[in-house]
Amino acid sequence: MVLPLVEEIRALPTSLPTRTSAISEGAGRWRFVSRSSECNLPDHYMELKERSLSDAIEISKLKGQVFETVPNGKLMAANQRSMVYVMKDGFLRVINQSGADHFKLAKSSRARIIDIALTRDASEAKDSREDSSNVLLCLDEAGGITIFFVEACRANKTGRLQQIELVLSGLRPRRVVMHPKDSTCFVTLHSTSLRLWSTARLRAQTHVVSQEGTFSRVSSDPEDAFCCDTVDLPKVTPHRSADGQIRDLSFTADGSCIAAITEDCLFVWQRSHGPGTHQGLKLIQQMTIDKATSQDIWPEGPASIRFLALRERNVDVEALVLAAANGCSLAVYTFTRGSTQPVGPLLQYIGFAPEGSDAKAVVEVDSIMHATLALTFCNRNCFAVLPLASNFSSSSSRMAFPYVQRFHHEVAADHLALMTALSNKNVRTLFVYRIVLTRKEEASHASKHEVLVHQPTSAHLVSPEEAPELPTTPSSSSDKGPPEETEEVDEPPPAEAWANGIQSGADAEDKGGDGGDGSGDGLPADSAGTFAKKPEEVDMFVKRIAASFVLGLSKKKEHLADKIVQEVVGILKSNGSAGQSDAAMMDQVLAKVREAREVQSDSDKKLQDAVREATDAWAETSAASMSSLLSKEFGKLSQGVASNLAQQLSQSRKFCETLARGVQKSGVAATKQALESLRPPKQLQEAVGAALGEALQESLAPVFKAEIQSHFENELGPLIGHRVSEMLTAFRDSMTDCLEAIATEHEQVAERLGRDLAPLIADELKQVRHLVQSSSGGSGAMQEAQLDELMRAVETEVIQPLHARVKELTAQVQALRVEAAELQRRCAEAAEHQGANVQDTPAAEAAKAKQLESMFRHGRVEDAFLRAIQKQRQARHYDYLECLCALVPDPEAWLTEDSSGSPISAQAKMKLMHALALQLKEKVLDEPVFLRKVNWIQELWLAMDLEDKAVDRQAKGLCAQLIEALDSAQADGASKEQAPRQQTLERFSHSAIEMD
């Protein structure tokens, strides 16, 4: 069914109820109880049992690889037949899931690969040819697309096409995405457009360039004659954001539609079929994203889009997931296939990191079943899995994800792929592939990576569950249907292949890989001894004690309860068969319960004794360590006071116990309680307090003062000035654009009014001419009277109102322009005033001087002088004009015009003369610097073209300014050492007066 084109633009729903925290169920699982949930999953404490929730198998070791790509780009993919990952120099490694073989694929160029796409479900081939059932696409940074037919590459037979290279002469693609069901269809993503391609159509246009017939090249002209369809982003609003580029796109789970997102828009196209291999895309929905209301979900707008769906018959509801740039904020919407408005209401929001967290995640979907979402955290040692609710399709008012399961691993990963396939137990299992950085070196060629596959130890860890109804039930257009029976694929279990030695072939890339050494999770036999050896691990030691205690207690309770139940059941069975009375049976049961209670009580007492002994040992060790530390610190102040205080602290049992209890809770609270419980004599308190105060005052006060002053001068001051300048500049630009737009609109109205009145006036004049010609045979007096009356009527009715309207519009335009100029002047003055308040440091001014020198050397001479004149007003430590003038060895020859003209314009010369004259009033100038500035003023004056119109218009004002500046400098230079300076200034003053 082809849907009509979109007619209405709506806003994407972003309103959410109050956020609530997800409920932790232990063992790395959190359950969502509301539509808006948060859980600090990446930074939450890792339980011991989480380390054994998944099995990790190493597939390959790599050395010297650089796994960098574009946003949302993929460097790893997997399906039932193959697992593929990118290597350096444009190579790809393909590993068969059965572990039978592995081989490399190579492009014609060695450009770095930035994105790949693999046939999602290799068991569902839409083309009768075997080559099209497993297709691999790769995009390199040069914009080339290579299509590999994996099965043909595996066979490597002559005459069998193995790869097609697509060379685009127009815009370079940024991403490549394959259809989830049809491996002959794929889409390339460009900055603001999409292109739909068909491998079958490209096959027909191939030109074989290799002798074996295995390689061909297709060069697409600028019109993209070989692609099926090209669509550009529509202009949603007149003022769309500057970042109008497509950030991500994705096919729906069934492949019927394509959705793309920008910073503030969402677009949905429907894929249509035509005769033969012709396909097309039709826009059916576009939605805007309000930045103000979506800040809580995506601070910088959505960055990733994914689709999930259940494999059920006659179900048209999918889950649309939009993720933030850090991948930790997910918004879930309903997507109804076949609807004119497929994107529905906002069902659920999930936040995995608090505001300000540096956590970053990569989001991917199960490539086979499309019913599981996974996140791998790039800077945390864990990844998470979110199964889609089993009853999600029955009602669009249910939550999409009822819970999240976290899995732990020792190393973080930046790349992720997952799929559902048969395990070695012939059970459908989720396999998660990750590329981890095992050793990072400064030189990229020395870094080491590993490709791992993770498999949950139990299927119930990631099995789908039913989700409750939401409090607010949105409308739903989906129908219920019986579950679809999925076809079982006869493929070898991936986990069995990895475990049976596939590493031996893949490890050929790096035979010298480092092996990891694992460590157990149990506690050491002598906890107190371990603590005594490493007192800095107090926190970790306490946590491990608590975890071991809780784990042992829970195991003991379970074992004891099972034992009691078994014995009671045995007694009941034996007594029931023997025919004893109920009273005797109950006596025996109570005896067993009492016995179990006594055993439990003895066990608790022993456990308490053991904990008490460990606590005492820990308290003594903590007291000794703290006493030693305090002794060293106080020894710097006074040897006698420190010795007395350390001795009293070591002998105080109350202090030690208080300190031990406080360290368990918080180091700061423990120290405070210990000092309060110590309470030394008043004389000692005064002596220690005075010594501490003097020492801190002498040592810390200068440091704090210097640091705060330096931080304000180097960081806060320039930053405040820069921010205020940016704000004023942005405000000035926006107001200028607004006023110019208003003025332009008034001018257009005036022009449009003139164009509208011109035909009317022409018709009137034609009628007048007709009347004059028709009445030419009458009397002259009558004809003259009629002409006079007609002229008065035209003057009164047409010309005078038109002149008045034109004058009114002209006055409005002039007023708007005056206001814009005044606003620009005020903003400039405010920026200069703010820049004057925030003084630059010498280092900052030196950096600005280097920038001006660079501009001068690169040919931007006039811009360099004008910026130096502007910056010299606020300069406190550096002479920018002297810096530029020093770059010219001979001003006379440099200022003399040649065939290419003067290096600076006449107006720039006048401004430079005035700026140099103002500097002559400064008394701090050295004699050589003063004479150099005077020489520059003289050469600039002599190089001035008096016939230039710009000079003639501004000559009077310039002369007045020069006279004033030179007179001030002349009054300051009356000493004998500065006699040549005075004479030179007198000559220039007379010349300026004559010029005036």
918-940 pLDDT, tens digit per residue, is: 887 765 677 788 888 888 888 88
d(CA 984, CA 996): 18
Looking at residues 764-783, what average pLDDT do you find?
Answer: 66
Q: Flag the least confident range among 22-31, 318-327, 507-516.
A: 507-516
Residue 527 is predicted with a pLDDT of 34
Residues 6+ apart with CB under 8 A from 701: none
The CA-based diameter of the chain, rounded to the nearest angstrom, is: 151
Residue 220 is predicted with a pLDDT of 62
d(CA 801, CA 312): 74
Give percent of the chain above pLDDT 70.
67
494-508 pLDDT, tens digit per residue, is: 544 444 444 443 443
d(CA 934, CA 988): 9
Nearest CA-CA partner of 939 in 993, 873, 984, 875: 984
pLDDT band at 595 (very low <50, low <70, confident <90, very high): confident
d(CA 841, CA 839): 6
Find which of 375-389, 567-581, 967-981 is predicted with most confidence, using mean pLDDT: 375-389
Selected residue with higher pLDDT from 755 and 511: 755
Residue 547 is predicted with a pLDDT of 60
d(CA 912, CA 872): 11
40-87 pLDDT, tens digit per residue, is: 889 888 888 888 899 888 888 888 777 788 889 999 999 988 899 998
The burial of 755, by beta-carbon neighbours within 10 Å (0-12 exposed, 13-18 middle, 19 or more buried), is given as: exposed
Which residues on neighbouring strands pair with residue 336, listed in sequence order?
A: 317
d(CA 129, CA 327): 39
213-267 pLDDT, tens digit per residue, is: 567 777 665 546 678 888 888 865 544 555 678 999 999 998 999 999 998 899 9
Residue 683 is predicted with a pLDDT of 66
Coil, strand or helix: which one is 72? Answer: coil
| Distance, first Cα to last Cα, the chain | 85
Q: Are 865 and 912 in contact (CB under 8 A)?
A: yes
Residue 901 is predicted with a pLDDT of 66
Residues 6+ apart with CB under 8 A from 636: 695
d(CA 824, CA 818): 10
d(CA 449, CA 65): 7
DSSP letters of 391-404? TGGG-TTB-S-SEE
Q: Flag the least confident range among 141-145, 171-175, 218-222, 508-512.
A: 508-512
373 pLDDT exceeds 90?
Answer: yes
Q: Are 262 and 243 in contact (CB under 8 A)?
A: yes
Residue 689: C-alpha distances to residues 640, 678, 697, 699 (Å):
14, 15, 12, 15
Residues 6+ apart with CB under 8 A from 720: 838
Selected residue with higher pLDDT from 138 and 587: 138
Q: Are 390 and 310 in contact (CB under 8 A)?
A: yes
Looking at residues 981-985, what average pLDDT do you find?
Answer: 56
729-742 pLDDT, tens digit per residue, is: 788 778 778 877 88
691-705 pLDDT, tens digit per residue, is: 777 777 777 777 777
d(CA 520, CA 543): 16
Strands (E), 337-427: 343-351, 361-365, 372-377, 382-387, 403-408, 413-422
Q: Are 308 and 364 in contact (CB under 8 A)?
A: no
845-895 pLDDT, tens digit per residue, is: 888 888 888 888 888 888 888 888 888 877 878 788 888 888 888 888 888
419 pLDDT exceeds 80?
Answer: yes
Question: H/E element holding 677?
Answer: helix 667-678
Residue 506 is predicted with a pLDDT of 40
d(CA 58, CA 52): 16
Q: How is residue 606 written in tokens?
A: 């022993």
d(CA 823, CA 571): 97
pLDDT band at 405 (very low <50, low <70, confident <90, very high): very high
Residues 6+ apart with CB under 8 A from 445: 63, 64
Residue 793 is predicted with a pLDDT of 78
Q: CA neighbours within 13 Å on the CB side: how many for 978?
A: 22
Residue 346: C-alpha distances to residues 13, 286, 295, 560, 598 (Å):
6, 16, 15, 49, 57
Selected residue with higher pLDDT from 25 and 673: 25
Selected residue with higher pLDDT from 985 and 310: 310
519 pLDDT exceeds 50?
Answer: no
Residue 29 is predicted with a pLDDT of 93
Looking at residues 823-835, what average pLDDT do you find?
Answer: 64
Nearest CA-CA partner of 584 in 594, 596, 571: 571
d(CA 360, CA 378): 6
603-652 pLDDT, tens digit per residue, is: 777 777 777 777 777 777 777 777 676 666 655 555 555 555 556 666 66
Residue 43: C-alpha distances to residues 359, 360, 377, 521, 958 (Å):
9, 12, 11, 20, 68
Residue 829 is predicted with a pLDDT of 66
Compute, in degrees rounded to 10, the torsion defined by CA atoms 760, 766, 770, 771. Answer: 50
Residues 6+ apart with CB under 8 A from 18: 36
Selected residue with higher pLDDT from 712 and 282: 282
Selected residue with higher pLDDT from 314 and 409: 409
Residue 505 is predicted with a pLDDT of 39
Q: How many CB atoms lie within 10 A of CB 750?
A: 17
Which residues on neighbouring strands pair with residue 435, listed in sequence order?
A: 415, 451
Question: H/E element holding 565?
Answer: helix 538-578
pTM exceeding the 0.75 threshold for the entire prediction? no
Nearest CA-CA partner of 479 in 314, 608, 346, 297: 314
987 pLDDT exceeds 50?
Answer: yes
H helix and E strand count, the chain: 22, 35
Give percent of the chain above pLDDT 90.
14
Mean pLDDT over each residue of the chain, to the nearest integer: 75
Question: H/E element holding 108?
Answer: none
Which residues on neighbouring strands pair with residue 118, listed in sequence order?
A: 136
Residue 484 is predicted with a pLDDT of 41
Amino acid, res. 94: V
577-589 pLDDT, tens digit per residue, is: 555 566 676 777 7
Q: How is residue 894 written in tokens?
A: 């440099």
> Between β-strands 163-168 and 145-149, what pairing exists: parallel, antiparallel or unpaired?
antiparallel
Selected residue with higher pLDDT from 254 and 899: 254
Q: Are 430 and 55 in contact (CB under 8 A)?
A: no
Selected residue with higher pLDDT from 431 and 483: 431
525-551 pLDDT, tens digit per residue, is: 333 333 334 444 555 555 566 566 656
Selected residue with higher pLDDT from 494 and 411: 411
Nearest CA-CA partner of 521 in 544, 494, 500, 491: 544
